[in-house]
A and B are shown apart, each in its own frame.
Chain A
Amino acid sequence: MNKYLLPLIAVVILIPILILGLRSDPRELPSQYIGKPAPEFDLPTLKDPEKRVSTANLRGEVSLVNIWATWCAGCRAEHDFLMQLNREQVIPIYAINWRDNRPGALDWLAQLGDPYVASGFDEDGRVGIDWGVYGAPETFLVNAEGYVLFRYPGPLNRAVWDHEFAPRIAELKK
């Protein structure tokens, strides 16, 4: 085959990928999850591999599920705010420690503080894929029946909280 044609062929293959990429807005949760039960998971906890945390833990109370990893700079940015939420006892925060290594993640929590009720350790990223995680950090709002109500990709802070989460939680508590 003509070697001068190769770049053209490569690009012709690449462009449909970009078009498909455009069709999905990463700021929205793929519709199949919203208002549906949270995707099932059952993971060993970060602190103790013998213990487990699963979708069952999410039932009974409105909670957050936060996806984080030590390699993720945005997670570091939001960590202080998560600590604040935890201190104010606003809502229980569960975590999925995603595609990370255990000693590093434990070290992180020891140094920066641990705002989580429990962290599931999702080493191979399987649960992240089930949840449709696009990139860390991401935070899901789950209601008392274990249904996903809202997903926010990107670091949390006070402004995001007041805008996106607080009104939704207030709605639930009515």
Chain B
Amino acid sequence: MIPEIGHFALILALSLAVCQSVLPMIGAQRNDAALMSIARTAAYGQFLFVAISFACLTWAFAHDDFSVLYVANHSQLSLPAGYKISAVWSAHEGSLLMWILILAAWTMAVARFTSEVPDILRSRVIGVLGFLSVGFLLFALLTSNPFERLIPAALDGADLNPLLQDPGLAIHPPLLYIGYVGFSVAFAFAIAAMIGGDLDQNWARWTRPWTVVAWLFLTLGIALGSWWAYYELGWGGWWFWDAVENASFMPWLIGTALIHSLAVTERRGLFKSWTLLLSISAFSLSLLGTFLVRSGIIVSVHAFATDPTRGFFILGFLGVVVIGALALYAWRAPSLDSNVGFSLLSRETFLLLNNVLLVVATILVLMGTLAPLVVEMLNGGKISIGPPWFEVAFMVPMIPLVLLLGLGMHTAWRKQSKDPWIRLLRTPVIVAVIIGIVLPLMFYGRVSLLLVVGCAAAAWIVISSLIQPIRSWRRKQGATAITRSALGMSIAHLGMGLFVIGVTIVSAFGVESDRAMRPGETLEVAGFAFELREVRDVQGPNYTAIEGVVEVRRDGEFIAMVRPQKRQYLVQKNWMTEAGIHPTWNKDLFIALGDQLGNDTWSVRIQYKPMISFIWIGCFIMALGGLVTVSDRRYRKSAS
């Protein structure tokens, strides 16, 4: 019964979404207040019914209702209760439902927190969001109904994919989706502005906080996914340039450009066509990401659905949304663009470069992701582009971006006079270069060009993002304090600097060693002694495991006891690696237990990962910067 209620609620939500997408649009066109007021009500109602539907599916999982096909395929009686809940979004149907729920939640938030926005603009924004809801609800109801019954019911489920039985992966998709879907708000604002033919600095002020919040969730989601891959997949890498990772990374890059472009539109009324185009692209890439993951045209470790009807549906929807939006852009953007001059040395120039470099980076990633498809079309062969290509190609726009970042932050809007600028930045530049050379030499005893560039760039970003906050903190009484939004920018850039340090050091000085070991043997890696004390059997709630007990010493001194496991899940019989990691702030010692090679001999992978935690700490601080930015007074005013 409950699953049928969920299905029915989803159909009701679709009807409301149709109202939400059509009526307010007509109202805005005719300036009819009654029709426009439907926008809010319909948005609240749609959210309510989607939430009911989602709750019903969750109920089915929590109560092990194996008469529901989706539940029977992705859960199991002995699965720990927490994972029964996260299993709701572990596969296609459920994660689509979650996508719809999050879209409805964003729409409701837009309806609630835009009292300052004129009725016409708000109605159009909610109308566009309603159109997106219609598309996804139809997608769910027509091709991927999560409430489909299985008759007769299964006695027990097929279990959740063991890879996904992990707290990191339980919250990774929701965060990622909040980010992905959040870009729909900027998209809706862009479409609404183009329909209305009116885009001013207020528009940018209203759009910006929504975009920053979406971006910060996406940042957290990607970072968490990368962290999960690091400790769960057992390879010790943190980014694989896998198609699905790229699918989340491209909207992030464009979203980052969008945030910067919006800053220019808000402060100076410039870059309007950039901002519009980036708003459209960020969301289109989110849709493309969904398409790539859902359609199975690119197979990867992550892809979990291969069904051509679904692919065609998403592609059709993507086509309508993107072509429609870009046609509107080609028609309306020329009249919206304004030409106010700015001099060559000004913040505008740096932000323009920022936009261009981030777009170039996105195009490179997109090319790398789609190249296999294109080559297949041209000569019928199938190819795959590996990480080496991405690593080199991605550096090309990233190195200048990172170097220009610190300069741009300290450049005035409109026109910056040269001498004070050089005086301000001379010392930080010199200090950064010195740090870039000394830091690797002192701590790791080796230096190369790429290392110096990486370390100096990181030091440069860290120093230059600290200048302003420190000045503000030491300012004389009465001088103006730094605004929250400027502070947020500094914090986010600081995070970027820490991220660059982490990436540079770990790729230069990480050590990997794979050996066969017997209990009692000791292996020396990067100055640490790893002694395999014993290998024993362990029993978990729904798995059995073989656990290696490894004692780590340095110069004879005990450092840690690390316990890597190999787990066999009882239902699906897969072996999973559960790496043992001893994390400290400046290094991780990573141990993964491999196969049994013979009597009492085990393959063991030991890795020394210096500064790797900075990669995720950096991302977290970037997201924190976003949070500080949206708490700025001028956005709070618009929210209340």
Contacts and interface: CB of A to CB of B under 8 A. Distances in A.
* A complexed with B: yes
Interface of A: 2, 4-5, 7-8, 11-12, 14-15, 17-27, 30, 69, 71-74, 76-77, 80-81, 83-84, 99, 111-113, 125, 128-130, 132-136, 153-154, 157-159
A69 B382 contact: no
Nearest to A12: B323
B604 to A, nearest CB: 11
Given A76-B235, A112-B603, A2 B595 contact: no
B383 A21 contact: no
A59 to B, nearest CB: 25
Given A74-B301, A154-B301, 14 more contacts: A2-B334, A8-B323, A11-B284, A20-B377, A22-B308, A24-B376, A73-B235, A73-B240, A80-B594, A83-B595, A84-B595, A129-B381, A134-B384, A159-B574
B290 to A, nearest CB: 12
Given A11-B322, A73-B237, A4 B315 contact: no
Contacts of B374: 17
Nearest to B373: A21
Given A22-B312, A129-B381, A159-B572, A8 B388 contact: no
Contact of A113 (B308, B315, B377, B603): B603
B82 interface: no
Contacts of A7: 277, 280-281, 326, 329-330
Max chain A Cβ within 10 angstroms of own Cβ: one of B277, B284, B301, B330: B330
Contacts of B311: 22
A8 B321 CA distance: 12
Given A2-B330, A113-B603, A22 B387 contact: no
Nearest to B301: A74
Contacts of A73: 233, 235, 237, 240, 301
A10 to B, nearest CB: 9
B41 to A, nearest CB: 35
B490 interface: no
Interface string B367-392: 00010111011011111101110000
Contacts of B388: 71
A24 B298 CA distance: 10
Contacts of A154: 299, 301
A22 B315 contact: yes
B511 to A, nearest CB: 13
Contacts of B235: 73, 76-77
Contacts of A112: 514, 603
B327 interface: yes
A131 to B, nearest CB: 9
A3 to B, nearest CB: 9
Contact of B386 (A99, A113, A157): A99
A17 B383 contact: no
Nearest to B363: A10
B468 interface: no
B519 interface: no
23 contacts: A4-B329, A7-B281, A7-B326, A8-B329, A11-B323, A15-B318, A15-B319, A18-B373, A21-B298, A23-B308, A26-B296, A69-B386, A73-B233, A76-B235, A77-B233, A111-B515, A129-B382, A130-B381, A134-B372, A134-B383, A134-B384, A135-B382, A157-B574
A81 B234 CA distance: 15
Interface residues of B, number: 58
A157 B515 CA distance: 21
B295 interface: yes
A72 B300 CA distance: 11
A20 B308 CA distance: 11
Contacts of A69: 386
Contacts of B237: 73
Nearest to B572: A159
Given A4-B273, A5-B330, A77-B233, A136 B297 contact: no
Contact of A157 (B370, B372, B575): B575
Contacts of B291: 18
B597 interface: yes
A125 to B, nearest CB: 7
B264 interface: no
Nearest to B334: A4
Contacts of A132: 381-382
B297 A18 contact: yes
Contacts of B333: 4
B446 interface: no
Nearest to B240: A73
Contacts of A19: 315
A74 B384 CA distance: 13
B573 interface: yes
Contacts of B382: 26, 129, 132-135
Contacts of B595: 80-81, 83-84
Nearest to B319: A15
Given A72-B386, A77-B233, A112-B514, A4 B330 contact: yes
B306 interface: yes
A77 B595 CA distance: 11
A69 B299 CA distance: 17
B547 to A, nearest CB: 17
A103 to B, nearest CB: 15
Nearest to A14: B370
Contact of A158 (B277, B280, B573): B573
B304 to A, nearest CB: 12
Nearest to A15: B319
A24 B377 CA distance: 10
A71 B306 CA distance: 25
A6 to B, nearest CB: 9
Contacts of A134: 299, 372, 382-384
B603 A125 contact: no
A94 B308 CA distance: 33
A14 B284 CA distance: 13
B386 A25 contact: no
B326 to A, nearest CB: 4
Contact of B603 (A15, A18, A80, A130): A80
B328 to A, nearest CB: 10
A135 B384 contact: yes
Contacts of A12: 323
Contacts of A25: 296, 306, 308
Nearest to B573: A159
